[in-house]
Structure 1
């Protein structure tokens, strides 16, 4: 079969513009979608960061509370208390974290 006489299709300028516009619109949609995704990811990361800060502060508080409990007996030894009274005072103070904070 001879192809030299066959009709070839050359796209017109208007069809090329339509194709380009479609590509541009698809690219714009893709960019917009990626931008929205990035914004949402940033929001999630900010929330995670604030949660980690909260957890870190709670761990720090728990560590400080543990250190205060350990030093409670040393402080109570400085007071003129018999061992039974010192034990009762330590038991009352260590019963609640707010009492430990108040005592120190």
Structure 2
């Protein structure tokens, strides 16, 4: 896959700490997409993000429990805010998401 094919695609992959979710996130990154890995968090998510970073991909993990409506809404608001969607890199998305989260908690 040409790394420029997915250059303007932003993806949030659920279940990305292992298995099919991890493979999907890895394939999207290989295609040039900006990808955030989402799962319930913890060591497995951290390890998945670190594995992709060691491969040279700008990966970020987002704790998300898809069984919780509140968790999904919070992630949607923070990750898909207009400021985040205008970002060009995963680092920008992560920084803007943290900023948005800080402002929302005031």
TM over 0.5, shorter chain: no
Larger Rg: 1
* Structure in which a larger fraction of residues adopt helix: 1
Q: Which has the higher strand share?
A: 2
Greater relative contact order (CA < 8 Å, ≥ 6 in sequence): 2
